[in-house]
Each structure stands twice: as C-alpha cells, then as structure tokens.
Amino acid sequence: MEANHDANKPWTIERVLKNASIKHQGAKLTFLQAILVYCLCYFVLSLVFSYSFTTLVSPDSYDFLVENLPGIVLSLLLSPLGYGIGLLGIKKSAGLEIDYNMIVQPYRHFLPLFLLATLVSLITLLGFGLFILPGIYFALSYSFAPYLLMDKKMGVWESMEASRKAVTKNFGRFLSLSLILAVVNVVGALLLLIPLFWLIPISVIAFGEVYNHIKKDIEAVEPAGDGADA
C-alpha cells in the first residue's frame, strides 16, 4: 500500500481519519497483540514493583512520593513499549508491513527515550500544576518527540523542540483530532470494549498519519541528514 501524504497539502482531520480507517484493515489483530503484550508487562512488573516496595519500605514511612514511586518508575521503564505501539501506527500509515514484535524496537534507544519521557513528564506535570491548559499543550506538543528522536537521530531536547514547533503550527487541528479520538474511544470503552478492536488501530494509525505529514514539514525546513527508518 502506498503512503498517501501529499507534501503540498496540509493534513486535515477528515483525510487523516479516512486514511486511517482504510489502512487499519488487516492490522487489528497486530494492534490487539501489541496492546496485550504491553498490558501483560505492566501487570507483571507492577506486581513485582509493589511487592518490592512494600517489602523494603516500612508502612510507617509511607508518604505520597513513596506510595506512587513504583507506578512512576514503571511508567517510565515501559514508555518505550508504549512508543512501540505508536511506531506500529506510523509504519502502517506509511504502507509498511507491521508485526507486534516491533513494539520492542524503541528499547534500542532506551536511555535517550527514558530521559525524554522523564523530561516530558516533568514539564507536563508542571504545566498541569500551574494551570490545566499549559499541561494539555505540553502533552500534545511533545507527542512526536520520541519518534523524531528515533527516526531522525535527534537529541532529546532537539526532538522535543522540533515536535513542539511542528505541533504548534497545527495545534488547533491536532487538539480537535485528539479530542475526537478520545471521545470515540471512551464511548467504545463504555460499549463493553468491543468497538475498541476497531477504534484503537484507527486512532494509532491516525496519529501515524499526522506524524508522517509533520515529519515532511520538518525535513523541508530543516533537513536532518540520514535518519533511521521509524
């Protein structure tokens, strides 16, 4: 399948959703397998972390940070696996073959991705702490940073800034698309989870559609040499 990204045309929500709904055909099982792997890893490691912390830390010394530290550390450690699910959407959007095993590929870049996830989390939490809107802005604007880091071999801060600037140019559309996908997935979850079998692949591929458009914009303005394929 050929990638459908016209560099001369700005992406639109309608075109992104239409392309994603077409390209998710035949990929639903792969996304389901990838999500099940992520959930299984999260469940097993959360049990290990919780047991370790309750064993090592006295209940009398519990505070908010200690109580939530296992979940924070676990989320950061598994962030590359989450990025791997997004990677499937990017590849499928580009017309490439995908396999659920690909979700472990981001671990090749574990250290920079771990640093990126930590920095993005801190900035986003600060944004939500100051006011909700800055938090939403940072959460969305840094969405593509992990993929630019892997794809274009950018540094941590460089990828964050490239993502932020690219998303800011399209922020209204990206926010609207994110809200649409969030609402339909919540509705799907309320309907006994069954619609998510279709909605999650479409949502992730839609993310990939936007990324592939934005990457072309970044390459047009600031060529980044020979980047690795996503």
Letter string b/e over residues 75-114, b meaning 16 or more CB atoms within 10 A of that residue's CB: eebbbbbbbbbbbbbbbbbbeeebebebbebbeebeebbb
pLDDT at residue number 50: 77
Place 80 in a pLDDT band, splitting at 50, 70 and 90. very high
- Residues 72-91: what's their mean pLDDT? 94
For tokens 């949502």, name the residue: 203
Answer whether residue 229 is part of any domain: no
Q: Mean pLDDT for the chain?
A: 88
Which residues, in sequence order, are CB contacts of 135 under 8 Å at separation 6+? Answer: 124, 125, 126, 127, 128, 129
For residue 75, tell me if it sits in a domain. yes
Average pLDDT over residues 54-62: 64
pTM over 0.85: yes
Please give the tally of structural domains in the chain. 1
pLDDT (tens digit, 9 = 90+) per residue, 97-117? 999 999 999 999 999 999 999
Among the residue ranges 38-42, 147-151, 220-224, the one predicted with the least confidence is 220-224
Two structure tokens written together for 102 = 């690909």
Give residue 1's pLDDT: 38
State pLDDT tens for residues 148-181: 999 999 999 999 999 999 999 999 999 999 999 9
Task: Let me know if residue 227 belongs to a domain.
Answer: no
Residue 154 and residue 147: Cα distance in Å, rounded? 9
Task: Judge whether 4 lies within some domain.
Answer: no
